[in-house]
A and B are shown apart, each in its own frame.
Chain A
């Protein structure tokens, strides 16, 4: 079983945690990633900074700006991933970001670099299934999962197209909007997850707007994973170089809520 599959087969929902690589500096990121693991994260999403993060709200936009201002390069992101793999041989790490930095040196180069760094999957916000030959094929050739996104606008007719070639897990974006503030109505998440589960055996992780342990627990009752991003990035923004400890205690609160939720009957 590969690392991603194992992370979703622990008998409880997985906690998927996002931070932007290089925020506040490339040297600070490894300690923050270690804090995510120590706090109970099951899957790490490492954001690749980009100058034009058009699907992100203010929190992650600012994280991108801080990271780039600190001089973060693609080589730094890959180095951070490789270092994480050495320290945490069993914890899956996926890269998340936008197409242009990923394809700049060629999709094959990027896929090979991911494989060499021990990256388990890639989430590319702006390469839909229709443009899969721009990156998805190359990732699969290196056994790196091409993780797809489904949204409230992905209807039943379109879903098979999204699932074709998808790997790792299916990321359900619970809000039609940008990352950060808005929260989905729980009933809409319940319905969507049921619909997605009927269409695929991939684990379903739900994200966008998740910030409290209560929300995480509610999602954990129906989904295979809960994704938390902007709320963690805001802690990094507030504490900067000393973010590891507060990040860890926040992740602990989410992990505890998810563990409790999974013991309750569905």
Chain B
């Protein structure tokens, strides 16, 4: 395949990223999706919209997030590498954002769009609860009622976030259908939306769903990569050699990657959740899935030969989604980004390693990225730079980790 002139020009007018993406929704939603597309185009061209977004990013979210050179982690990894090997590891510290993850970047952008469109009620789905908390926070900030759909199984394993959402004034509706996790929460969100299109805005939490969601979520999250690129140039006068980010739906990864896509010397690695292993239960849609249509877009899906969707599994509730954002599907197929995976065990090991070497408790989602960083750093020279997105903090996961380590708290 010939390389395109720019890797940053997707999607096309119909919301297609190569063979992926699109607008696969019920007719009831179609007019609203088209409205959203028009409104987003207008907002993008409106300096007042950008100014309001930037102001909230600075004063509400706490951006720019720091770029941090993890020297002890780098040294630790170097200790088991060949002489001259062991890259420098740097982190984009999006776990320091208000509400504890990158999710808030997108929620601010989408609620500003909702207000522009005159919508008065917000719904969202959530897996780990980070997107739910971020949505609940912006709804409180702007005084809009908020309903969060969350799989009943996730409600159980993410109690701290459930309580946070309630404190922020959101109504959390547990979803018991299917596997009672993220995918089912998304189905229920779509059912609510189709019945309430006149007044309701659906804040989708990842760079997936019908066009224009994958594009607008990417654009709002691209603040991660824009900041990181400028910070890295300022600190080191060069660009990183490798970007690494964890992937469920893929919003933190596309946010980091997108501003670097046209930098030919920057390699990129997305890390899917391999759960118990790629030959067992996992949530790695690229590694173990096939193209299909779900939740409004065409992308890689975990599914059987009849097109029935499989349940994803990961120790991280934020990664166990059976699909992936369509731009990642495209970037994989054209070869611009490499994709790998990390198991539950890999992630738990990396989680503990970061705690002990850097004094940072990461969320289980970026722990998957850190596991891949640990593998890659040893294969890269000592003068090379890996930049990984530390997309969430681990406070929410301490009960899950304790349980996995056999500790009762």
Contact = CB atoms under 8 A, between A and B. Distances in A.
A87 interface: no
A176 interface: yes
Interface string B168-186: 0000000001100001101
Given A101-B307, A162-B27, A54 B191 contact: yes
A128 B296 CA distance: 10
Contacts of A55: 26, 190-191, 194
Given A50-B308, A102-B307, A178-B195, A126 B187 contact: no
Interface in A105-141: 105, 125-128, 130-131, 134
Interface of A: 50-57, 61, 65, 68, 73-74, 98-105, 125-128, 130-131, 134, 148-155, 158, 162, 173, 176-178, 182
A74 B27 CA distance: 25
A74 B306 contact: yes
B303 A130 contact: no
A149 B296 CA distance: 17
Given A55-B191, A104-B305, A105-B305, 17 more contacts: A52-B183, A52-B295, A53-B187, A61-B177, A99-B24, A101-B306, A104-B303, A126-B293, A128-B24, A130-B23, A151-B28, A152-B28, A153-B27, A154-B30, A158-B31, A173-B27, A178-B194
Interface residues of B, number: 38
A128 to B, nearest CB: 5
B141 interface: no
Contacts of B28: 151-153, 173, 176-177
Contacts of A131: 14, 22-24
Nearest to A155: B31
Interface of B is mostly: mixed
B245 interface: no
B309 interface: yes
Contacts of B261: none
A-B residue pairs, 5 tightest by C-beta: A104-B307, A177-B195, A101-B307, A99-B293, A100-B307
Which of B26, B190, B294 is packed against the most chain A CB atoms within 10 Å?
B26
Contact of A153 (B31, B301, B303, B309): B31
B195 A153 contact: no
Contacts of B303: 100, 104
Interface string B297-317: 010010101111100000000
Given A51-B178, A52-B178, A128 B25 contact: yes
B292 interface: yes
A128 B23 contact: yes
B30 A130 contact: yes
A177 B194 contact: yes
Contacts of A74: 306-307
Given A55-B191, A176-B194, A103 B293 contact: yes
Contacts of A152: 28
B248 to A, nearest CB: 17
Contacts of B36: none
24 contacts: A52-B187, A54-B26, A56-B191, A74-B306, A74-B307, A101-B306, A103-B292, A103-B293, A103-B307, A105-B305, A126-B296, A127-B293, A128-B26, A130-B22, A130-B30, A131-B23, A134-B298, A151-B27, A152-B28, A153-B32, A154-B27, A176-B194, A176-B195, A178-B195
Contacts of B194: 55, 176-178
B278 interface: no
B14 A101 contact: no
A130 B14 contact: yes
B144 interface: no
Contacts of A153: 27-32, 197
B27 A149 contact: yes
A193 to B, nearest CB: 16
Contact of A178 (B14, B30, B178, B191): B191
Nearest to A75: B306
A70 B357 CA distance: 52
Interface in B166-221: 177-178, 183-184, 186-187, 190-191, 194-195, 197-198
Nearest to B22: A131
Contacts of B307: 50, 74, 100-104
